Amino acid sequence: MAHCCSEGACSVASATPHTHTHEIEGTSQKGPITRALISFFLLMAGIILSAMGVSFFENQWIRLGWYLVAYFPVGIPVLKEAWEAMWKKDVFNEFTLMSVATIGAFFIGEYPEGVAVMLFYSIGELFQDAAVSRARRNIGALLDVRPEKASMVTENGIKTIFSEEVRVGDTVEVKAGERVPLDGVMLSGSAAFNTSALTGESVPRHIKKDEEVLAGMIAVDSVCRIKVTRPFGQSALTRILELVQDATERKAPAEHFIRKFARIYTPLVTLLAALIVMLPWLWSLVNPEFTYLFNDWLYRGLVFLVISCPCALVISIPLGYFGGIGAASRQGILFKGGNYLDVITKINTVVMDKTGTLTKGVFEVQDIVPVEGLSKDELLCTVAILESQSNHPIAKAIVPSLPDNMVSSLPMNVREVAGQGMEGEIDGKNILAGNIKLLHANGVTYPDEVKDIPETTVLCAIDGKYAGYIIVADAPKEDAKIAVEELRKTGIKDIVILSGDKQAIVSKLAGELGIDHAYGNLLPEGKVEKFEELMRTGANRMAFVGDGINDAPVLALSDVGIAMGGLGSDVAIETADVIIQTDQPTKIPMAIRIGKETRQIILQNITMAIGVKLAVLLLGALGIASLWAAVFADVGVSLLGIFNAIRIMRKKF
């Protein structure tokens, strides 16, 4: 059960779900449990003594004293909360409702029921605290996996110190099976790391020398040394943990509704309970044939009060969003708030950047087409040797494709022609490697079909004669096509690509992936204009997926901005509403599925809570339901709502 104060109860999504009877974290629950056990045994003993007809227990004052002793362990904390709330002019809250209901039960002589109401209310509180605490611990354990200590490399050997004491520039050693304590760069050779705590992926990632290593990763197969680049408190993992904690405080529309609902609902049901007691009395004044028994009608009013507490709604709805955020985090998807879990379920159009989102963002050799009489290896070797003298991105894509045993000699008299390519001598032969402009400037003829190739091409000429070309392109990600298919299964009607690349390249990629609309040749401002144009067409609810840096303006315009590969990127974390920590496009439909599952659980809890409460409220007003039924219904529905809400944490997507 939740604390349903006049502000709509304290949300489980806050740092501490409530600040009344007991704190969720850092405070032992032994005291509340002990008090509940004492109350339970005294209540059961009293019921047994009454059922056995023990003579001394038939005395009314002895029975009253016995049940008061049973009542106080669980009742005094709630009475105290009610009193403090009234001093703060917060009269209509669940403490007041429980206090009035139990005092009223004692007033009409229903002592066991008065104790039971408060006892089971307290038990519900304990279950609530345990459920919320567990959910918070699950998320904390999921993300906060930074080792407390680090093995720092010093002149005198390895020294174990607290991770907070390691400074930027220090070197730490991580053995196989150990977690990386701080962000840094690899000093050793290539090593495999388990990144599941950060990205949700079980496949190890191979990291080479001078590449970034992040806190929380686990060294899989070798000992490695890492140069620290960020202090303990500023690691990417710390930022992710803070992001998830902040996300739980951003309320979804359903949570705002429940807060407003409780402000009106609680005083309303209190008034209705009073009317249940007073209206029959007024009716008896004008109709003498109607017999009015105050205790009977007061009992009905008390049943109405107990069942009226909106506890199941107030706790299970925020906890549902909390669970959704945790479930997404487990998959390497970070929602910045429960509100985005809601909005992403309404998305019908997904607009994506090309480079780094649908493609790997790295140029690779895709094809080698030599002239007749020249092999592919010979053409690749010739171009790669010449390009090895350049720092151009295209050159860096070609050179790694060349096996070491194919290098025959170094180029001589190398000259780089800006905007055209490279010229040099290899084994006494003049070599040209570049675009069409380079060959045209040197009077080299080439086939016309080369002009129609959409991808980036590096043409080669040897001693003034055309020798062939190499296609260099950004390859699609392995799961890009699957992501498009799964997006359509989630109900996305339109998928669009916006890119700065050539239209021919963008259109070809769209055809390969099964995407209907693709727009290329767009500068950042062009992307904004095209996105605004798409927004104006019909009732589009749009998500934009980009790298979170160049696409920041469009991310800000969209209903949901999704940053791909945002791990460690400050700009991505600041700009986007949802962050995909891996580079996998399939995480986008997964985020939508998690949002829909969360929303379904929320709707289930709302329907269940309102339905059961309305039924028991009606039965209570008619005198059919007892206080026992009311308290069991209230506690039962609350617990069902809690268990249903945390179910999403175990679900596989």
Do 492 and 421 reside in the same domain of the chain?
Answer: no
Do 215 and 177 reside in the same domain of the chain?
Answer: yes
224 in a domain, yes or no?
yes
Residue pLDDT, tens place only, 410-455: 788 889 887 788 999 988 899 999 989 899 999 999 998 898 888 8
Q: Widest CA span of the chain, in angstroms?
A: 124
**Res. 641: pLDDT tops 70:** yes
Do 216 and 316 reside in the same domain of the chain?
Answer: no
Do 349 and 492 reside in the same domain of the chain?
Answer: yes
For tokens 């840094």, the residue is 184
561 in a domain, yes or no?
yes
Kindly state the tokens that stand for 474: 């950004």
Do 393 and 488 reside in the same domain of the chain?
Answer: no
Catalytic residue (choose from 129, 183, 353, 577): 353
| Of 520, 549, 581, the domain-final residue | 581
User: CATH no. for residue 197?
Assistant: 2.70.150.10
**Encoded amino acid at 383, one letter:** V
User: CATH no. for residue 560?
Assistant: 3.40.50.1000
Q: Look up 377 and say whether it is catalytic.
A: no
Output the average pLDDT for the chain: 80
| Mean pLDDT in residue range 54-81 | 87
Q: Taking Cα atoms as reference points, which of 144, 21, 3 lies closest to residue 77?
A: 21
The predicted structure's pLDDT at residue 7: 37
Tally of domains in the chain? 4
9 in a domain, yes or no?
no
| Torsion sign (Cα): 283, 284, 289, 294 | positive
Residue 278's domain comprises 30-141+246-324+596-650
Number of Cβ atoms within 10 Å of the Cβ of 83: 12
Where is pLDDT greater, at 250 or 191? 191
| Of 447, 476, 505, the domain-final residue | 476
Do 345 and 493 reside in the same domain of the chain?
Answer: yes
536 in a domain, yes or no?
yes
Do 129 and 256 reside in the same domain of the chain?
Answer: yes
Most confident of 4-8, 145-149, 466-470, 636-640: 466-470
209 in a domain, yes or no?
yes
Do 221 and 279 reside in the same domain of the chain?
Answer: no
User: CATH no. for residue 377?
Assistant: 3.40.1110.10
- Helix and strand tally (H, E) in the chain? 20, 22
| Of 459, 476, 493, the domain-final residue | 476
Do 371 and 472 reside in the same domain of the chain?
Answer: yes
330 in a domain, yes or no?
no
Residue by residue, DSSP assigns 250-270 as S--HHHHHHHHHHHHHHHHHH
Calpha distance 266→270 (Å, rounded): 6
Do 318 and 214 reside in the same domain of the chain?
Answer: no
586 in a domain, yes or no?
no
Share of the chain above pLDDT 70, in %: 81
**Res. 17: pLDDT tops 50:** no
Residue 528 pLDDT grade (very low, low, confident, very high; cuts 50, 70, 90): confident
195 in a domain, yes or no?
yes
Where is pLDDT greater, at 217 or 138? 217
Calpha distance 98→105 (Å, rounded): 11
**Encoded amino acid at 605, one letter:** N
Class of residue 103 by CB neighbours under 10 A (exposed 0-12, middle 13-18, buried 19+): middle
Do 82 and 166 reside in the same domain of the chain?
Answer: no
Do 267 and 229 reside in the same domain of the chain?
Answer: no
The predicted structure's pLDDT at residue 374: 92
